[in-house]
Amino acid sequence: MSGWPKNSPPEPSRLTPRQQMAIDCARCGRELGARGRVLGEVRYGGFPFKLWACAPACPPRTDATT
């Protein structure tokens, strides 16, 4: 699979620095740790950004954890 998922790609300007640095998932904001998958590459401010997300997919939102 390549390219963006069906829903709209995250906008780099709206991501946190941690998300831009691939520390946190670009979609759900969870810390990636050792796992992650490349969501895709976007251009922001003239620079290519590689965005990462949870692998194999973002976990469903629960209220169990804060």
23 binds Zn ion (CB under 5 A): no
User: If binding is defined by CB under 5 A, does position 54 make contact with Zn ion?
Assistant: yes
Find, among 40, 49, 45, 48, the residue nearest to 21 by Cα: 49
Nearer to Zn ion by Cβ, of 29 and 41: the residue is 29
36: Cα within 13 Å, side-chain hemisphere: 22
Contacts of 31 (CB under 8 A, 6+ apart): 23, 24, 25
22 binds Zn ion, rule: CB under 5 A: no
- Using CB under 5 A as the binding rule, whether residue 39 contacts Zn ion is answered as no
Point out which residues bind Zn ion (CB under 5 A).
Answer: 25, 27-28, 30, 53-54, 58
